[in-house]
Amino acid sequence: MEKGIEEKFLDELELNKESLLRICSVYSVDSEMKKDYFQESIMNIWKALPSFDEKSSLKTWMYRITINVCLGLEKKRKKVKLEFIEFFDDTKLVKEEERSNPNLDKLRRCISRLDKSNKTIISLHLEGLAYKEIASISGLTENHIAVKVKRIKKKLLNCINQIS
């Protein structure tokens, strides 16, 4: 493997590690599972790196693989009928201010109730990806993403208001 692409991968991983972890947390029931999903994602990204064709940014490509890995692992987990215990567990990977924010906890609980398509879209939106990048990852159009984000936000707001 080219040394340049290895360095680019490691640099991009360092820049996006926290975002990838947050995406994994959306699909996992506890901090250990989140770490497993993250590790599995990184391994899959590394294995697929030689096939990276640079049609999108490396960051977008890494997000797509992470989401696909998480969805696949979630599907396997549900096949063995493990129950959803909790949405998010406080770990060292979570910033201190996030741990004690009740509004953030409500948001996480509401996101965990979304279907996997909406969960994916809002997770990427919350990570600051543009609609174009989300569309590239999800296979939907930018306009469809914009409409879905608006609808998801409305659902989340209603959910948060019901929890209050």
pLDDT digits (tens, 9 = 90+) for 97-127: 445 677 788 888 899 899 988 999 999 999 8
Going from the C-alpha of 13 to that of each of 17, 34, 56, 75, the distances in angstroms are: 5, 16, 16, 25
Question: In the predicted model, what is the mean pLDDT of the chain?
Answer: 82
Residues of the chain predicted below pLDDT 70: 1-3, 78-100, 164
**Residue closest to 41 by CA, chosen among 15, 10, 72:** 72
